[in-house]
A and B are shown apart, each in its own frame.
Chain A
């Protein structure tokens, strides 16, 4: 303990050490604060939109909720709000939440022409990426590790202290020094995050898992610093080499991988299915109504025999037509989703090689703010849309009047449950890489001898 406290004082008395740790603490605090503010703004937006929606819905109910009201008008003019409030840990890893919609209104018409609507975002603000705790961890913390550890051995050699240090009894000098620096960096990163997690009442398990990701990722960089630091003769070249590693691992290779994945797995199916759905729905106007109903009955046999109506138009026909349109593109929808999931899977595989990508992916999976979180929201919207349709069918197919009271009976959107999870494989890969580097580094550092003068 005494040796450890002596080491602690050695770091805390050095301007570089204290400066970089305080900087990290400051950045981490700012990031947590900014992340909480951003997520709070999303919640405010949801509250604001919900208020507007209530007023708008009340207006529709007043207009169409007559004693002899037609369910078709009600279904056509009732937009219902779905929303996806930020999960508790989103403040630390905002992910794609800044560009993915978190409010969307749907009505009982075809889902596929509504599901992909974009929300208003300022693309130029989104361009550089979000400033959150995950960013501080993935991009900035390695630089602090490099600043604190690149001259672990070379600094002592260049300072002329190496032989004196090695002549002293007692072992574990390097282990203590690496461990302490690592712990301090982790501490500076983790404290603001933990405070943020407490303030936002984040689940303990998720918080712990994110801290684990941070610990493993930093261990990887500590291992790198150790390995490169012991391989180089001069501090300046060690620093340059480590920053070179950082540039490659966090800037260059992820960018190349991203370009390769985008090239290899096109995601044009989204446009294809939208176009196909439009063709089918509009084609419905030009074919015999019975044809449309027959296709509708394949999945909705309970309404068979209730399709008949007088005149040229009945709402049940329109809604059946839209549903048939959705069903006809089901395969395209699945293919579209599959292409997005494939992109996601390949990114995960890239993470086996790039710790930054692995950490990024794991953090956002835990926080539930990655594309899978968005898929879960879309699935929730689809389920709600399903309930909405089925709510209207009895009115439409039995010509039951839709009154003011029926507006109150309309289903309301229930937000999705958190789907965050701890991805075991990338974390394991990260742990293995970190352990390999650290053990190789410790072997090298143990071989350092006072005999060879630099």
Chain B
């Protein structure tokens, strides 16, 4: 038993060595009961890279995020956040990542600034919080008049900005985004894309899980298609104005899922 564990650890280590991936999933398997959700998922995201993980419902997007967040322990394979295993060392791993849920829910009775301050305190940023909050709120482009307003009246886009401000204020190398553009109006989507550029400029590794192809095409450096628990296909952006061949991608995305 012990031997097997050690063996597995050595294998994991050899995979990790030689990569500078901020986000790494290698041979990850996971199943809920008899239903296998992830089957040998391999995925890496480097710092300064934006990776869009596309997939339909049930493809395993949420499970991938849960594995990275340490909410589930995969039955096989390795998960690393900057080399840290989120299952065995959840606190260290979480200190390296920021997560923005699909619909950002905040404490409605607090202002934007207070929300960021509260979550920052929870994340353990004890000192000098005000001096990091204001620049972060400015960076995400939240209007100044909204900083001290209760978030109960905020739109989804504004809430998302607050959550990303929190991520920026924490200065973490990894950003996990869950369906960031669903429910955003075109203007907000545009602003969101600009925000990701800011993150990339700060050398953050961004993994966005989405089923919004257009948005992915706009910002991602790489796009992976998740189907049946593994990366089916991966495309990398090319230089120039048309970074991806949208038609080809759409054809690929919309094709009927192969029977397992």
Contact = CB atoms under 8 A, between A and B. Distances in A.
Q: Decide if A and B touch, CB cutoff 8 A.
A: yes
Q: How large is the interface on B (under 10, 10 to 19, 20 to 34, 35 or more residues)?
A: 20 to 34
Contacts of A128: none
Given A164-B119, A165-B122, 11 more contacts: A10-B118, A159-B107, A161-B106, A163-B71, A164-B101, A164-B104, A167-B98, A168-B94, A170-B94, A170-B124, A451-B66
Contacts of B124: 3, 169-170
A76 B117 CA distance: 81
A13 interface: yes
B123 interface: yes
Which A-B residue pairs are the 5 nearest by beta carbons?
Answer: A160-B105, A6-B121, A167-B99, A169-B95, A169-B94
B97 interface: yes
B163 interface: yes
Contacts of B98: 167
B71 A449 contact: yes
A14 B109 contact: yes
B103 interface: yes
Contacts of B15: none
B91 A163 contact: no
Nearest to B98: A167
A331 to B, nearest CB: 68
Interface string A150-194: 000000000111011111111101000000000000000000000
A183 B169 CA distance: 31
B201 interface: no
A168 B69 contact: no
Nearest to B111: A13
Given A169-B95, A171-B91, A451 B123 contact: no
Interface of A: 2-3, 5-6, 9-10, 13-15, 159-161, 163-171, 173, 449-451
Contact of B123 (A160, A170, A450): A170
A154 to B, nearest CB: 14
10 contacts: A9-B118, A13-B109, A13-B114, A163-B99, A167-B98, A167-B99, A168-B94, A168-B119, A169-B91, A170-B91
Contacts of B118: 6, 9-10
B184 interface: no
B126 interface: yes
B146 interface: no
Contacts of B106: 161
Interface in B119-134: 119, 121-124, 126-127
Given A9-B114, A9-B118, A13-B110, A169 B123 contact: yes
B121 A450 contact: no
A292 B97 CA distance: 97
Contact of A168 (B72, B105, B122): B122
B84 to A, nearest CB: 11
Contact of A2 (B95, B97, B99, B126): B126
Nearest to A449: B71
A9 B119 CA distance: 12
B-side binding surface: helix, strand, loop or mixed?
mixed
Nearest to B122: A168
Interface in B212-246: none
Given A2-B126, A13-B109, A161-B106, A167 B114 contact: no
B1 to A, nearest CB: 24
Given A164-B101, A164-B163, A170-B123, A10 B94 contact: no
A6 B122 contact: yes
B72 A451 contact: yes
A160 B101 contact: yes
A451 B71 contact: yes
Nearest to B108: A159
A340 B69 CA distance: 63
A224 to B, nearest CB: 25
Most buried by B among A2, A164, A166: A164
Interface string B37-75: 000000000000000000000000000001001011000
Given A168-B122, A451-B66, A10 B72 contact: no
Nearest to B107: A10
Contacts of A451: 66, 71-72
Contacts of B114: 9, 13
B105 A164 contact: yes
B99 A164 contact: yes
A14 B126 CA distance: 22
A163 B110 contact: no
B110 A170 contact: no
Contact of A161 (B72, B91, B107): B107
A437 B53 CA distance: 44
A266 B207 CA distance: 76
A343 to B, nearest CB: 50
A1 to B, nearest CB: 8
Nearest to A452: B71
A6 B105 contact: no
A171 B91 CA distance: 7
A450 B97 CA distance: 15
Nearest to B125: A2
B104 A168 contact: no
A15 B99 CA distance: 28
Nearest to A10: B118
A15 B107 CA distance: 12
Nearest to A157: B105
Contacts of B104: 160, 164
Contacts of A13: 107, 109-110, 114
Contacts of B127: 2
A3 B122 CA distance: 6
Most buried by B among A3, A164, A166, A167: A167
Contacts of B109: 13-15
A159 B103 CA distance: 10
A10 B111 CA distance: 11
A294 B202 CA distance: 109
